[in-house]
Amino acid sequence: MSELFDFLLDPQTAVVFDIDGVLAVYEFGTHCHSACADADWETYVRTHDPYASTRPVPEIQRFVRAKGPKRVYACSVAADFEAQGKRDFVLANYGIAPDHICLVERKPQKMDFLQSVADNLALPRDHVALVEDTVKTLDAACEKGFATVHVTSFFGFNG
């Protein structure tokens, strides 16, 4: 196992996963990553639950099982109309505790959630790892002293 996964699996490390493009494969359209234009997303979600048909990532499922539930979290930006679908997807496919799922209105609020995890577990920031697909969000977390992992690091994880 790599040094990265030794660190992530350490019982003293908390791991926070983004949802879209990390826990949920981002394949909402046919031959296109999105099912519709951003302007039509709310209407689409209110008439089709995209999270009911998206797939989880087997490598991350294996990681979550290996890590155990105590220090695994999910945090994602979600509008009110998509929150329940995201939450249900995470619960059904990863077994992350309901109180470990945080849905925020804006990306900068993810930093507040990371800090609350650090505070609640009495961990230094560098023992709270954010797993993301958006480099700007990873950069922001890194600048604040959190550990950061791009989702592609999980490609090929066998546990």
Domains in the chain, number: 1
Strands of 101-104's sheet, edge to edge?
101-104, 72-77, 14-17, 128-132, 147-150
Considering the entire predicted model, what is its pTM?
A: 0.89
Q: Give a yes or no: residue 42 inside a domain.
A: no
The answer as to whether 62 is a domain residue is: yes
CATH value at residue 87: 3.40.50.1000
Residue 33 lies inside a defined structural domain of this protein: no
Q: pLDDT per residue over 51-102, tens digit each? A: 777 889 999 999 999 999 999 999 999 988 888 899 999 999 999 999 999 9
The share of the chain scoring above pLDDT 90, in percent, equals: 70
Classify residue 92: in a domain, yes or no.
Answer: yes
72, part of any domain: yes
What pLDDT score was predicted for residue 36? 42
State phi, psi for 8 to the nearest 5 degrees: -65, -35
- Cα 19 from chain centroid (whole Å): 4
Share of the chain above pLDDT 70, in %: 85
Average pLDDT over residues 30-42: 53
Q: Is 106 among the domain residues?
A: yes
Residue 35 falls within a domain, yes or no?
A: no
31 domain-assigned: no
Q: What is the DSSP string of the chain?
A: --HHHHHHHSTT-EEEE-TBTTTB----SSSSS-SS-GGGHHHHHHHS-HHHH--B-HHHHHHHHHH-GGGEEEEEE--HHHHHHHHHHHHHHH---GGGEEEESSTTHHHHHHHHHHHHHT--GGGEEEEES-HHHHHHHHHTT-EEEEGGGGTT---
pLDDT of residue 31: 46
Domain, as residue range, for 129: 3-26+55-154
